[in-house]
Structures are given as C-alpha cells and as structure tokens.
Amino acid sequence: MDGDDIKISKRKPSYPVSKQLSSYLSTYKRNVRIPIFYDDLLRFDGSIIVYDEDDNDTLWVRVYYNEFEREEIDANLKKIYTILYSDGTEGLTKHLNIDAVDYCTFGNSKPFRIKIRNILNDNYTYFYVKKADASRIYGLELEHMLSPHNLSFLVYGDTLIEDHISGIPGDEFITKMLPERTKKEKAQIAKEFIKFNERCMIRLLGDMRSYNYVVIPIHDFDQDVYKIRAIDFDQQCYEGKLNIYRPQFFKENVNMVKLVSDVIQETSLNQYVLEERSAIAKRLLSNKARLELLIECMKSDHISKEENTNLLKSQLHDLTHDVNFKRSTNMGEVLESALDFVRRNYENINTNYV
C-alpha cells in the first residue's frame, strides 16, 4: 500500500431525491413521515462555539431557539427519536430530554447533531438531521447492505435523519492511541485497514480521510480487536479519480499505510484483500433483489458529472481489463460493473457449491 496526497472537488453538489429513489425508500420503510424538517432547525436565535476537552474548536456550534419555538422543536425531535429507534409511540417521549442541538457549517451536509437523554438513567445518544442528498442516501444503503454494519436512517421530503455511529474518530485514534497499541493490536488494526480500504474501493465510497471514519475497539476474550467504520457517505459515486475511493492514498492516513507496510507481509495482505472481496460477494448474493432495485435507481439518476464518470470508468477498465466498465454510461452503471466484477470472480473461483 502506498500513501499519497490526492485532491477532491471542493464542493460536491447536492442531488435531489428522485421519484424512483423515493419509491425504493418507501418499499424498504426508509421513507417515513416526520414532524419536523431540516429548515425548521435553521430558525435558531443564536449560537455558542463547542470546544473539546482540550479547548480546541470542534467546528460545531450549540444553537438556541426562542422559548416559544423551543418547546415545539424539542417535542418534534423526541418524536423523531421514537420513530428512528422504536415504533413511534408518543408515550415513550415523556422520559426524554433534548440536551443539545449542535450545528456544523464544515463540509457539504451542514448537519444538526441532536443529543437526547433518558432522564431516568442519564443514558444518552445522538442522531443527525441533514438535508437529503441522493449521493448520501445511496451511500447509506450500500453501507447497510455491503459492509458488516447495519444502518438506521429516515428520509422525508428534503430531510434526512441519520443514526449516530459510535467510535473514536480516525484522526484522534491515529494521533493519540495508535502509537500505544501492542504489536499484536497493531497487526490487527493494519488488517482491518486493508479490508476497509478494499471495501471502500469496491463500492466506490470516496473521501475516507481519517476524520471521515471511526475506529471501534471491541474486547474479545483475551484481546482487543478493532473495527473501522465509515461515518460520512457524501462522496458516494461522485469523483472521477479512482484513488479517491482508496483510503490508502490520503495523506491523513499515512500512518495507517506505514503500519500496514511495517507489520503485514505481502502474502497476508493479498489474503485479507481476497477475504474482503469474498465477504462482499456473499453480501451481494444475499441482498440480490434489493441491490438490483437500488442500482436501477442509480442508473436512472444523475449523481455525478459526465467527465467524472468517463475518467473513473477508464481507470477501472485499466485496472481490471473488464469491458463492462468501458460500456458504462453513468455512475450507476459503473458501480453495477464494479459489483458484478467482484461477484463473477467469486463465483468463478467457488465452483464446488451444489
């Protein structure tokens, strides 16, 4: 693996949710009526900067509303919580409190982060309210079906509600925790980064710089294992350069790349790549009908620039020599060719099944 620095588009446009995608979301219970919209949360009266424990600006601000609007906003955010995590029963909201509404102007999505707490036991969680963007929705659905992790989210009109993905931000983990890991732990982290890198490339999820994924430590019998999860799905099938879909080429991940080079032999690296491709192929087969519907939505949608599509399909053809990439006319077809390439290779190798 090689570390490098690559540039991405400064501002990706937001693409509207098409009627076909909306119908797909309704089929799989993602399209749900909610009582408040993203634009409603923009009516805040003021804000204060949110600092981390080291007094660094987090790029989030805590917003506040006038007392007349705050009561209604809090009640509606509690309802959203019950819809996202339960069956929408309103009686569940009486023990909930909205502790904070934070707003981030950094990046494309400009999300609101809602901190909600159970007042009976002080357990709290977060969810996000964002502008609905077709790219992000495709990314969330593909993550749900092709990664080891399930995702909860809702879409209604131009508003997207996303579950919070817990974990240690990748940049923070690399700086503060990675150097202190044991040799065995570092080898396991390197293995996970190889698989994460492969997974992002295959399903064309871009911009996985270290602050766009989290590292999750899990205690397993006599060891700690580490998982890596994407948390930003804005750059799904948009950019033209293939390396933007490969986390190893971002300078923010150079320490992860060095770790792989230091502790993983080439034979093991190839083994882990094959393991991840096989895992994705199995998920493709398990979610065949649902994925076909989603890909049909993408193929009829406009989610990238023509020059990006042409560049990406050319680079993928050079990499794989698969003529299907050359024949692709949009990003949906490029992704379909990529997933089909992985599936066909898996089925050609595994010919012993009856």
**Helical axes 19-27 vs 134-146, angle rounded to 10°:** 30
Cα–Cα distances (Å) from 328 to 44, 300, 306, in that order, read 45, 12, 11
CA nearest to 253, candidates 213, 217, 216: 213
Tokens read off for 27: 């089929």
pLDDT at residue 28 in the model: 96
Question: Which whole-number Å values give the CA distances from 89 to 11, 109, 127, in the listed order?
Answer: 39, 29, 18
Helices vs. strands in the chain: H and E counts, helices first: 12, 10
Please state the domain extents for the chain. 19-163, 168-349
Where residue 221 falls (left for φ over 0; alpha for ψ -120 to 50; beta otherwise) is left
Give the SS3 label for residue 90. Answer: helix
Instruction: Locate all alpha helices (DSSP H) within 147-265, ordered by sequence.
Output: 170-172, 183-202, 254-263
User: 143 and 205 in contact (C-beta within 8 Å)?
Assistant: yes
- Using alpha carbons, select from 321, 315, 303 the residue that is nearest to residue 240: 315
- Number of neighbouring beta carbons within 10 Å of residue 194: 24
**Model pLDDT, residue 2:** 62
Measure the CA–CA gap between 185 and 174, rounded to whole angstroms.
13
Given this model, what pLDDT does residue 180 score? 95
CA distance 27 to 293: 10
Q: Residue 337: its pLDDT value, please?
A: 97
The residue type found at 200 is: C
Terminal C-alpha separation, the chain:
37
List beta partners, residue 78. none
- Identify whether the C-beta of residue 300 lies closer than 8 Å to the C-beta of residue 22: no
CB hemisphere CA count around 17 (13 angstroms): 22
User: Tokens 């996000």 identify what position?
Assistant: 128
What distance in Å separates the CA atoms of residue 60 and residue 49, rounded to the nearest whole number? Answer: 6
Residue 5's pLDDT is what? Answer: 58
pTM of the model: 0.93
The alpha helices in 28-133, defined as continuous H runs, are 38-41, 67-85
pLDDT tens for the chain, 354 residues: list them.
665 557 676 678 999 999 999 999 999 999 999 999 999 999 999 999 999 888 888 889 999 999 889 999 999 999 999 999 988 777 778 899 999 999 998 767 789 999 999 999 999 999 999 999 999 999 999 999 999 999 999 999 999 999 999 999 999 999 999 999 999 999 999 999 999 999 999 999 999 999 999 999 998 888 889 999 999 999 999 999 999 999 999 999 999 999 999 999 999 999 999 999 999 999 999 999 999 999 999 999 999 999 999 999 999 999 999 999 999 999 999 999 999 999 999 988 765 554
Rg (CA), the chain: 21
